Amino acid sequence: MRHLTRPVFLLLSLAAIAPQLLAQDVPAPIKALQDRGATIGERFEAPSGLTGYTVSFQGQTLAAYVTEDATHVVVGTLLDEAGTNLSQPVIESAANAARPESEWDGLSAANWIADGDGDANRVIYAFMDPNCPFCHRFYEDSRDWVESGQVQIRHIMVGVLREDSLPKSATLLSADDPSTALARHEANFDDGGVTPSDSLSEAAQTQVQRNNELMSQLGIRGTPSVFYRTEDGEIALARGLPRDETLEAVMGGPRPE
């Protein structure tokens, strides 16, 4: 790695923060980022006396650099004298890392609609907006796996794209038979899908709002976003519409014949 001679930092710089005793030697500036809503990831070595941390903030994975005296932190892109981006490899590695088991527990406790056999060997979770054309495409692309009984998709309905997304999702979640309501919505997607109910309860709308909050907490910025387990049992995330090899990885194998 080249030595840093002309540092370039982008995005955010925090002013001096008095150091204080923190658990596990977490620097005060990093604790300050946590207090502002950031999720702190792995610690890594950085040049010129800096200590790096990966952080997730408002759906983005970023690199944070603490100064040698542990009184300041700068969040952003670190370049060396040749203009090489030293932050990007760290960010990409963090973004592709296995997700913690606690996230799977959170997904399981969310408000979702079951799509497929309850005894399926494979379960995946998908954040879905009822107005999202890529979500509709994912629903259609997944039919062979779902209808064969191999996979159950648990659709975590959110409302983020349009004004009527939240009431549409609330209408689906509160239906007498949400699975059938979702299938009917997808079958009529090109014509607008489900019509929002005129008598939505506050509880039904709160369910969607909680899904929106979970989506934000997990750093998800778009739909569909699909959580699944790899062959090694680790939790992985496919952002956007899964295609080709990614779709097979999400579904656990080739398309059933």
pLDDT in tens, 172-229: 999 999 999 999 999 999 999 999 999 999 999 999 999 999 998 887 878 999 999 9
At 218 the pLDDT is 85
Start-end of CATH 3.40.30.10 domains in the chain: 101-251
pLDDT value of residue 7: 39
The secondary structure element, H or E, covering residue 166 is helix 165-173
pLDDT at 58: 60
The CATH 3.10.450.70 portion of the chain extends over: 12-95
Hey, which residues does 60 pair with through a beta bridge? Answer: 57
Contact of 123 with 154, CB cutoff 8 Å: yes
Domain range 101-251, its CATH number among 3.40.30.10, 3.40.718.10, 3.40.109.10, 1.10.645.10: 3.40.30.10
Topology of domain 12-95, CATH: Nuclear Transport Factor 2; Chain: A, (3.10.450)
Q: What is the pLDDT of residue 18?
A: 30
* CA-CA-CA-CA dihedral for 178, 183, 186, 188, to nearest 10: -100
Q: What is the mean pLDDT of the chain?
A: 86
pLDDT computed for residue 59 by the predictor: 55
Backbone phi, psi, residue 97, to 5°: -70, 155
With a cut of 50, list the residues of the chain below it in pLDDT.
1-24
